Structure 1
């Protein structure tokens, strides 16, 4: 099973919407629920609106659900769901009102929160949904305590552990591998969960920040796959499963409109490559035309690849960065699911 970690932004939901049924049967997405877009009627956005959109796109399938805690993607509704009173009662009520029993909720926690409230939440989630996910930073000093508390009320096979690695800096892969080792030793120990999924991403905030990546083209390694292979080789008995941030940088930053340069990203062997051309020089159509046919033939058969082929033929079906992020995600998830 493959566990892509995604936020519920428009670009990510678009990518998921266009996945084939064969892909959906091989993945369990981990969604960080974000607020919806801000509108005149919803000036702060709405979690319930975004939950409805998520259900429309993926509600017929199983997925893991967490809450986004990035400031720009949350609102007061999000904050209220972290109220630990009565075993995180607000979170439980929200889950019951908006989602089916086929999902796997994450257990929420707050700094200096009580053990009893956390355990009550875990107990309730497992009873209602069958399994629970514990999702923390790989370096969270409280991760071992949370897992120990959860094990007091739930069998380890009812628990999925998702330590987050965030951006996989190519200059610090040894440190990242050591952090994973430390987590396996100090958090997991000999109590193996149902699945252990380390989530990180090689995709940088800006591709041009990487050594050897130019203004118009470049390539960089898929370090999430390198790390994954190394962990499986060194820990063959640990229930490690494939996971990442679906070719998206793990953190979001406010963007200023008007300054972007059309760019198409694509997988080529064990690397990501990109073709980038300014709008006044041809934009997405020119960027696609510069991708050689051999590279395109290596891409998985999916909606995302179809968009690249269409642009290469001179028909650009989406003109925004958000659309082409969807294309990249769709191709990446399809490939990671093993669909060629």
Structure 2
């Protein structure tokens, strides 16, 4: 399985969690063929190892290719996590684990744990290149991991087989700082490899939408900063656009469940998220009210009654009195599905405009 990374114009990064996988699974085949998602494996809720999450992951991907990364969060899976992250025998455990899912589309990302020696990382990358024909790196610690990536790419048979994801994670609170850090990291990499393929990942979806709500706390619009961020680092001529699929980058799953929630439906546009929320004794009624409000505003503009986007279909069904879910997780799936579909379409629209301009 050899992936030519340059053929893809959008890279969504998701975690292997129920809501995110469901959103990905329900992307139609035509759109799904235009992406190779970067999926991070972690503990599946209620499971004490990583195998359950991987089984759910391969089922959701329907044998289509995806990049497999490993969480940095070891809670509840510490023994297996330590084993997979171990650099012993040049990360043999990680390579063996990933190989078991190769026929299902998995391509392992090069692991860069603290304390790993340069030679171990280099040998891991070379082994992935040899077996898969392409190599992916994910940089989150810019200062610590970038030198390792440079050494590993220098040792590849074909540096053009590699892609480096510069993952800035949550950018809303420090946009300028992340722009500067991303540009600096890109420059370091391109100084060594001028033709290196790079994708920049970020998210601006907040942990709470209340600060963006109106005075009645019933609706609001959240500006999507990911596209602005991508533009500031130089756009497509510098790096491929990527994001976290409208998911906040910080995981709170394992904390005490004390946060109250109100029914809310988010509607992703191309460069913003609109939401409707309600406080009601009936969650089913509240979700239907949210859906009707969204359909009233966006139904005609996006031809939602005839949409081929699964998430939009679920909003239409809820507006007609049949809500897909009565808790937040199902509606996160809807948001993820619409967001990724919308960004795939956005990229296709940009490519079409460029082709038309070129022909003129």
TM over 0.5: yes
Cα 1:318–1:129 shift into 2, 3 Å: same
Match in the other structure for 2:249: 250
Match in the other structure for 1:321: 328
Could you tell me whether the CA contact under 8 Å between 1:101 and 1:129 is conserved in 2? no
Match in the other structure for 1:187: 189
Task: Indicate the larger mover: 201-210 or 3-12.
Answer: 201-210
Match in the other structure for 1:337: 344
Could you tell me whether the CA contact under 8 Å between 2:16 and 2:53 is conserved in 1? yes
Q: CA deviation at 1:212?
A: 6.2
Structure 1 residues not aligned, in runs of 5+ = none
2:71 counterpart of 1:68: yes
Match in the other structure for 2:43: 35
Could you tell me whether the CA contact under 8 Å between 2:41 and 2:53 is conserved in 1? yes
Q: Distance in 1 between matches of 2:215 and 2:122?
A: 48
SS in structure 1 of the partner of residue 27 of structure 2 = coil
TM-score normalised over the length of structure 2: 0.85
SS in structure 2 of the partner of residue 3 of structure 1 = strand
Structure 1 segment 142-153 matched on structure 2, within 5 A? 142-153=144-155
SS in structure 2 of the partner of residue 66 of structure 1 = strand
Q: How many residue pairs are counted as aligned between the two chains?
A: 330
Q: Distance in 2 between matches of 1:272 and 1:6?
A: 18
Structure 2 residues not aligned, in runs of 5+ = 1-7, 350-360
SS in structure 1 of the partner of residue 138 of structure 2 = strand
Match in the other structure for 1:4: 12
Give me the CA root mean square deviation: 2.3
Match in the other structure for 2:308: 301
C-alpha deviations, 1:290-337, integer Å up to 9, x for none?
225341344463110001111111111211211000000000111111
Task: Indicate the larger mover: 111-120 or 252-261.
Answer: 252-261
2:25 counterpart of 1:17: yes
Task: Indicate the larger mover: 5-14 or 292-301.
Answer: 292-301
Could you tell me whether the CA contact under 8 Å between 2:21 and 2:60 is conserved in 1? yes
Q: CA deviation at 1:213?
A: 7.9
Could you tell me whether the CA contact under 8 Å between 2:139 and 2:146 is conserved in 1? no
Match in the other structure for 1:82: 85
Q: Distance in 1 between matches of 2:88 and 2:81?
A: 15
Match in the other structure for 1:98: 101
Q: CA deviation at 1:179?
A: 1.4
Q: CA deviation at 1:195?
A: 2.8
Q: Distance in 2 between matches of 1:120 and 1:190?
A: 19
Q: CA deviation at 1:194?
A: 5.2
Could you tell me whether the CA contact under 8 Å between 1:68 and 1:74 is conserved in 2? no
Structure 1 segment 263-282 matched on structure 2, within 5 A? 263-280=264-281, 282=285
Match in the other structure for 1:112: 115
Q: CA deviation at 1:230?
A: 3.0
Q: Distance in 2 between matches of 1:29 and 1:125?
A: 18
Match in the other structure for 1:288: 291
Match in the other structure for 2:179: 177
Cα 1:78–1:157 shift into 2, 3 Å: same
Could you tell me whether the CA contact under 8 Å between 1:104 and 1:130 is conserved in 2? no
C-alpha deviations, 1:60-83, integer Å up to 9, x for none?
111111011134575421221011
